[in-house]
């Protein structure tokens, strides 16, 4: 039988097969191969006398460590429009991380109720011009939650974004129950409290939602310099215009990407962030 691991506790794995959940143990061969089953793994199991055994772990599409889950297909990248103010650099790094891990990014701008007037218009424009879908939320009042709910079908979805932006509130609203404690933001620190726990997949609207509020900080230092441009999908339409096949779109002459920036076809701020990352790689700095 084939199924998906939705929870793992103390060496037991709970595998959803059609409309049943079967408790399983993993075969010893996985330990010898230094392969540990993860939540989100697609597996083949054998059931004898009601007891399940995981026989095979199918090849993973991707693997995220925090939260520990495999085969995630999309990320809700959550940032508040105010309180805390948007960190543009961090927003771009989250999107870059998602691209590297083959996750579809949906950027969710929360706390629209806190805006006295339209702010951060350029940041929103930057994200939309790069081709990313955006959803505007007032998560506390449920505004915009249905728009997210429509995106869950046939996906394994994780939330990510900095602390205090409302990820736990969104998660609880989607699940229809309190899964995570919602932290109170310290006026001094502007950071939310959250509890760490094991990952579990919750079935919602024909898809699965990872029941942790996701990662709130990340490092992108593992991405090689030559891999960075692949994390900027808006570049792909213009790379054919580059004179050199290995163009880094940095200091090379006759670069199609730089020309597209000059013509306003690629947002200047996105390109400036790209150059910042490239220079970090060249200088060997650890970027986080």
pLDDT tens by residue, the chain, 288 residues: 999 999 999 899 999 999 999 999 999 888 888 899 999 999 999 999 888 999 999 999 999 988 899 999 999 999 999 888 899 999 999 999 999 999 999 999 999 988 766 677 899 999 999 999 999 999 999 999 999 999 999 999 999 999 999 999 999 999 887 765 554 433 433 343 344 457 899 999 999 999 887 777 778 888 999 999 999 999 999 999 999 999 999 999 999 999 999 999 999 999 999 999 999 999 985 444
pLDDT at 182: 56
User: According to the annotation, is 176 in a ligand binding site?
Assistant: no
User: 112 a known binding residue?
Assistant: yes
Which pLDDT value is given to residue 224? 94
- Can you point out the beta strands (E) in the chain? 2-9, 12-17, 20-26, 42-48, 51-57, 63-64, 69-70, 74-80, 104-110, 133-136, 156-160, 201-204, 207-210
What's the confidence (pLDDT) of residue 194? 41
State the span(s) of the chain assigned CATH 3.40.50.300. Answer: 64-210
Q: Which CATH architecture describes the domain 64-210?
A: 3-Layer(aba) Sandwich (3.40)
**Superfamily in which the 225-283 domain is placed by CATH:** Probable gtpase engc; domain 3 (1.10.40.50)
Q: Residue 37 annotated as binding?
A: no
161 is in an annotated binding site: yes
Alpha-carbon distance 23 to 242, whole Å? 55
Q: Which residue has the tokens 């096949």?
A: 245
Query: How far is residue 254 CA from its own chain's centroid?
Result: 34
Q: Report whether 67 belongs to an annotated binding site.
A: no
Rounded Cα distance between 243 and 246, Å, is: 9
Within the chain, all domains assigned CATH 2.40.50.140 are found at 2-59
Residues 212 and 172: their CA atoms lie apart, in Å, by: 10
Is 163 annotated as a binding-site member? yes
Instruction: Tell whether residue 53 is among the known ligand binding residues.
Output: no
pTM of the model: 0.88
Q: Residue 186 has what DSSP assignment? A: P
Q: What is the CA angle 64-156-14, rounded to 5?
A: 85
**CATH placement of domain 2-59:** 2.40.50.140
Q: Is 52 annotated as a binding residue?
A: no
Give just the sign of the alpha carbon dihedral 148, 149, 153, 159. Answer: positive
CATH 1.10.40.50 occupies which residues in the chain? 225-283
Cα–Cα distance measured from residue 46 to residue 50, given in angstroms and rounded to the nearest whole number: 10
């Amino acid at each position: 039988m084939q199924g998906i691991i939705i929870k793992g506790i103390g060496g037991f794995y709970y595998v959803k097969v059609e409309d049943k959940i079967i408790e399983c143990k993993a075969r010893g061969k996985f330990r010898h191969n230094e392969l540990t089953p993860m939540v989100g793994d697609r597996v083949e199991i054998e059931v004898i006398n009601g007891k399940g055994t995981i026989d095979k772990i199918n090849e993973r599409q991707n693997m995220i460590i925090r939260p520990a889950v495999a085969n995630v297909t999309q990320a809700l990248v959550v940032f508040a429009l105010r309180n805390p103010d948007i960190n543009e650099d961090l927003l771009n790094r989250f999107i870059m991380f998602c691209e590297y891990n083959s996750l579809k990014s949906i950027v969710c701008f929360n706390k629209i109720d806190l805006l006295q007037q339209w702010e951060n218009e350029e940041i929103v424009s930057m994200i939309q011009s790069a081709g990313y879908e955006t959803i505007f939320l007032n998560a506390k009042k449920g505004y915009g939650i249905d728009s997210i709910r429509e995106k869950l079908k046939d996906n394994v979805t994780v939330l990510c974004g900095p602390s205090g932006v409302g990820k736990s509130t969104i998660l609880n609203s989607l699940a229809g129950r309190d899964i995570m404690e919602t932290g109170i933001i310290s006026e001094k620190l502007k950071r939310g409290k959250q509890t760490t726990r094991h990952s579990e997949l919750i079935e919602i609207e024909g898809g699965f939602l990872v029941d942790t509020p996701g990662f709130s900080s990340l490092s992108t230092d593992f991405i090689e310099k030559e891999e960075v441009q692949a994390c900027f999908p808006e570049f792909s339409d213009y790379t054919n215009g580059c004179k050199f096949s290995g163009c880094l779109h940095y200091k090379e002459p006759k670069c199609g990407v730089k020309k597209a920036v000059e013509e306003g076809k690629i947002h200047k701020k996105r390109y400036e962030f790209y150059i910042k990352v490239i220079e970090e790689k060249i200088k060997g700095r650890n970027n986080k």
